[in-house]
């Protein structure tokens, strides 16, 4: 039998052939769609590289796929992110199902327009069924004429298209929310997800059907925004596969939907909270965003709506106006980024990145090209991003919405010729708003702002970060009551206690003023003694460590007197990137932090993602309740190669000075059972053998679930230490989402139920002689220090800034009295009663 000859593909373009790795798009560079080459075009016509049939001609005109008689599928994608142009600059000469010959014209395009509008002109030419055809020769790094040699393909022996089994097939309807339908990027993501299941899956659109594993097949369906399709599946894990694919499509994959015409920002921003009546005692409760106590007068801040014209006055004029406005805002941001603290500079750098986002600009300019005004185009483009971020269901990403809204406002004001001047405020102002924008806070004089409180917002928003960096006490998620506070009303903002007192009487004001003076005195004394050990009056040694997430944090911890790092959040290495850090990068970072601690103990928490912390390279299927899904150790055991890489990196850390038992300890998050601890220890022992490490390495667990707390005695039999994460433990014990602003005021880690879990943890650990620490938010609350010590905690890991005060609080305590306080706290009926008990104890 004669061997099948290789299939030779001619170049479909005149240009320069480059490796596919040089495509500035992970979908192509990482070969999610298949192998091939990239061409930087010098011509404006795409021709057929071989004889074949057109199986897909995208409606946006930027991509076409051919299938040869032998079954090879070749995708040609002109430029990158060109789908957003909506067909502008493209002319398609073929239709689906049409047979074409080598060299026949497929697409003509305006090269100059693409050079201005597209992210890149790079044109990937990809073999999308690499399981059936492999590239045996290819040209790279040279110029080529259209029709010149490009690559040769060879059929893989025994390759066959997988047949979809219809037996026991299940189906789920889906309305497609993707703005541009199922084009290359979503097709690649759907296919990658489908391949992670054993079930056979497909999308069905009318009478057409395509395997979910085939990106080309999916694109060939020509599914558009709003189309009704079905996800079907059969096989062992059909239900899971069908659900995961449907949820992925329904999520919008960050592409959002076409933006409806609107004339104001209000429809994009969530409806403002309706002003609510103030409580009878005048006390509103919220979530701590930046610590401190403030006395001042209410100043209401609100963003005035900016009207925009829908119809433009000519494409050239509107294009020029938008460019000028963007330049003006960019110059102002760049100037602001040259001064101020690191937090301010980092936030402004993020704003610049948003401002220069090519997709955002492309969408705005596409609307201008349709005759719309510059303001309308910009507002619509930003609105699409806002809706997409909110649709992801990720609180961390949703908190970036205020940055986009901020940029929308700044550019619209620049278009209107208005200056974004700093607000002039009276001294002692406590800012009140539904939500504050970062530029609004950066535009005020920090010397006159005593504090801020917002009805909405989150504790990790950029406004919260800015407030903490400015030293301004701040509360978020206070609710609609804050909108009922009259301008000029007297306020006491106790961010540490989570309260905003409106119109306090003379005695409350006097008490707050006394408290402020006492705080300043205590802080000064605590800072002076920051490096003294934390020993109670009766001689009990308590370790006070600091939580960290960077080398800078570790250095600040040492400066503030921390005796080590009780929680290194390794997520700083894993989030906001397309690929996980490798072993060498992790080892370098952990070593740098260990060096910064100068031999002090370093407890490194293994990767804690999932829930509200998403990593793009970990495609965790959408979950109805992420807080109860793949989180912490569950993710590590789901992807054990990531866990092993991280453990090897930690094991490579060498102490900067001799430390008994080694400098690094390892802590596993969200452990719920002994089996999980044993599974991690098995990976740790394997990593130790590979690195020929025989020294003992301590492995501890975080107590963050009721299951871990009530089985602490079982865990302590094999764990080297236990550390309580009170933030998650509180939300799980109370069954309240700590990210829900409606519940924020009721989530208190001093709730007797939470304290009983802490007590049970300490009792279980004591049976095996294990120490118990607290690294959650409660450790940073000096009011709680005596209760925690009384329940049996011997290590506290706090925020860096509060270390001196917690150490000072420990020195003022008698452990026997703390035990009595702890016992009484367990008998209280509410967190308010516990706090009153603690405050009376410390008075």
- Catalytic residues, which ones? 462, 775
Q: Are 89 and 365 in contact (CB under 8 A)?
A: no
**Rounded CA separation 203/245 (Å):** 9
**Strands 293-300 and 429-433, how do they pair?**
parallel
**CA-closest candidate to residue 568, choices 653, 648, 460, 666:** 666
In what order do the strands lie in the sheet containing 99-100?
99-100, 52-57, 63-67, 73-77, 123-127, 35-41, 15-19, 142-144
Q: In whole angstroms, what is the distance from residue 370 CA to residue 335 CA?
A: 34
Select from 542, 532, 538, 494 the least CA-distant residue to 797.
542
Distant-in-sequence, close-in-space partners of 520: CB < 8 Å, separation ≥ 6: none
Element (H, E) at 209: strand 208-211
Neighbours of 116 (CB within 10 A): 11
* 590 and 572 Cβ atoms separated by less than 8 Å: no
| Strand pairing class (283-285; 499-502) | antiparallel
The three-class DSSP label of residue 815 is helix
Instruction: Answer whether 799's CB lies under 8 Å from 547's CB.
Output: yes
Helix 674-690 to helix 640-651 angle, to the nearest 10 degrees? 60
Max CA separation in the chain (angstroms): 101
Query: How many Å apart are CA 475 and CA 478, to the nearest integer?
Result: 7
What whole-number distance in Å separates Cα of residue 497 and Cα of residue 475?
A: 10
C-alpha to C-alpha distance for 670 and 727, rounded to whole angstroms: 12
Determine the angle formed by the axes of helices 315-336 and 401-415, rounding to 10 degrees.
120
CA distances from 366 to 87, 149, 224, 360 (A): 10, 36, 18, 10
- When computed from its CA atoms, the radius of gyration of the chain, rounded to whole angstroms, is 30
**Which tokens belong to 247?**
């949820």
Kindly write down the DSSP assignment for every residue of 49-112, as one continuous string.
SSSEEEEEE-TTSSEEEEE-TT--EEEEE-SBSGGGGTTTTEEE---TT-EE-TT-EEEEE-HH
CB 10 within 8 A of CB 150: yes
The set of long-range contacts for 656-662, using a CB threshold of 8 Å and a minimum separation of 24, is 656/594, 656/595, 656/597, 656/598, 656/599, 657/598, 657/599, 658/599, 659/599, 659/601, 661/696, 661/698, 662/695, 662/696, 662/697, 662/698
CB 40 within 8 Å of CB 15:
yes
Name the token pair of 184: 């290359």
For 742, phi then psi, to 5°, come to -70, -20
Cβ atoms within 10 Å of 459's Cβ, excluding its own: 22
Beta bridge partner(s), residue 64: 57, 76
Measured between its terminal Cα atoms, the distance across the chain in Å is: 96
Q: Which of 120, 119, 123 is nearest to 107 (CA)?
A: 123
């Amino acid at each position: 039998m004669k061997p099948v000859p290789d299939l030779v593909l001619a170049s479909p373009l005149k240009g320069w052939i480059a490796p596919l790795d040089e495509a500035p798009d992970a979908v192509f560079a990482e070969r999610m769609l298949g192998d091939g080459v990239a061409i930087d075009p010098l011509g404006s016509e795409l021709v057929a590289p071989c004889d074949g049939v057109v199986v897909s001609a995208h409606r946006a005109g930027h991509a076409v796929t051919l299938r040869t008689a032998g079954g090879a599928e070749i995708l040609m994608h002109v430029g990158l992110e060109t789908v957003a142009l909506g067909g502008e600059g493209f002319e398609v000469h073929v239709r689906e199902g049409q047979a074409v010959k080598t060299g026949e014209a497929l697409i003509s395009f305006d090269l100059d327009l693409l050079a201005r509008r597209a992210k890149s002109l790079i044109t990937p030419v990809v073999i999308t069924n690499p399981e059936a055809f492999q590239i045996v020769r290819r040209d790279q790094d040279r110029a080529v004429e259209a029709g010149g040699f490009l690559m040769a393909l060879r059929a893989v022996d025994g390759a066959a298209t997988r047949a979809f089994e219809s037996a026991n097939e299940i189906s789920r309807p889906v309305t497609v929310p993707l703005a541009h339908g199922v084009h290359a990027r979503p097709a690649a993501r759907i296919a990658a997800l489908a391949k992670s299941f054993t079930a056979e899956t497909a999308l069905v659109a009318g009478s057409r059907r395509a395997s979910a594993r085939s990106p080309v097949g999916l694109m060939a369906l020509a599914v558009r925004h709003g189309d009704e399709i079905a996800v079907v599946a059969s096989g062992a894990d059909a239900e899971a596969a069908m659900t995961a694919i449907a949820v992925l499509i329904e999520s919008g994959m960050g592409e959002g939907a076409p933006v409806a015409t609107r004339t104001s920002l209000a429809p994009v921003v969530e409806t403002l909270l309706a002003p609510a009546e103030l409580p009878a005692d005048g006390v509103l409760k919220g979530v701590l965003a930046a610590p401190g106590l403030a006395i001042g007068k209410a100043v209401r801040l609100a963003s005035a709506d900016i009207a925009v014209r829908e119809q433009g006055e000519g494409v050239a004029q509107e294009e020029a106006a938008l460019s000028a406005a963007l330049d003006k805002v960019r110059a102002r941001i760049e100037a602001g980024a040259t001064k101020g603290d690191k937090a301010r500079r980092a936030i402004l750098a993020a704003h610049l990145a948003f401002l220069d986002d090519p997709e955002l600009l492309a969408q705005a300019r596409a609307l201008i090209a349709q005759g719309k005004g510059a303001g309308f185009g910009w507002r619509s483009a930003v609105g699409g991003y806002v809706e997409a971020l909110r649709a992801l269901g990720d609180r961390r990403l949703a908190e970036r919405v205020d940055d986009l809204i901020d940029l929308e406002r700044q550019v619209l004001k620049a278009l209107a010729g208005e200056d974004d001047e700093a607000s002039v405020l009276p001294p002692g102002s406590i800012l009140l708003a539904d939500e504050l924008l970062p530029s609004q806070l950066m535009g005020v004089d920090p010397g006159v702002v005593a504090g801020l409180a917002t009805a909405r917002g989150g504790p990790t928003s950029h406004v919260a970060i800015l407030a903490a960096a400015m030293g301004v006490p701040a509360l978020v998620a206070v609710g609609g009551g804050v909108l009922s506070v009259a301008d000029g009303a007297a306020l006491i903002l106790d961010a540490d206690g989570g309260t905003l007192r409106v119109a306090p009487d003379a005695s409350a004001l006097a008490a707050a003023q006394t408290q402020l003076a006492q705080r300043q005195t205590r802080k000064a004394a605590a800072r002076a003694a920051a490096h003294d050990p934390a020993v109670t009056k009766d001689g009990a040694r308590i370790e006070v460590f600091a939580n960290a997430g960077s080398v800078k944090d570790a250095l600040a911890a040492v400066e503030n007197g921390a005796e080590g790092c009780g929680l290194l959040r390794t997520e700083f290495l894993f989030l906001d990137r397309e690929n996980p850090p490798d072993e060498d990068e992790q080892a370098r970072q952990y070593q740098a932090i260990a060096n910064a601690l100068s031999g002090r103990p370093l407890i490194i928490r293994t990767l804690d993602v999932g829930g509200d912390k998403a990593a793009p390279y970990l495609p965790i299927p959408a979950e109805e309740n992420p807080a109860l899904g793949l989180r912490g150790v569950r993710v590590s055991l789901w992807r054990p190669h990531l866990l092993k890489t991280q453990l090897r990196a930690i094991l490579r850390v060498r102490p900067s000075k001799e430390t008994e038992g080694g400098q690094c300890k390892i802590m596993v998050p969200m452990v719920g059972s002994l089996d999980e601890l044993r599974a991690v220890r098995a990976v740790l022992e394997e990593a130790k053998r590979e690195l020929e490490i025989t020294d003992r390495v301590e492995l501890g667990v975080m107590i963050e679930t009721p299951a871990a707390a009530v089985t602490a005695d079982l865990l302590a039999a094999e764990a080297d230490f236990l550390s309580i994460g009170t933030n998650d433990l509180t939300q799980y014990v109370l069954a309240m989402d700590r990210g829900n602003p409606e519940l924020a005021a009721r989530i208190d880690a001093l709730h007797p139920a939470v304290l009983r879990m802490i007590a049970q943890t300490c009792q279980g650990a004591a049976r095996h002689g294990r120490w118990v620490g607290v690294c959650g938010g409660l450790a940073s609350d000096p009011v709680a220090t005596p209760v925690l010590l009384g329940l049996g905690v011997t290590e506290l890991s706090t925020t860096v800034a509060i270390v001196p005060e917690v150490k000072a609080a420990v020195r003022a305590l008698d452990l026997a009295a703390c035990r009595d306080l702890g016992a009484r706290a367990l008998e209280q009926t509410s967190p308010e009663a516990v706090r009153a008990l603690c405050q009376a104890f410390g008075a």
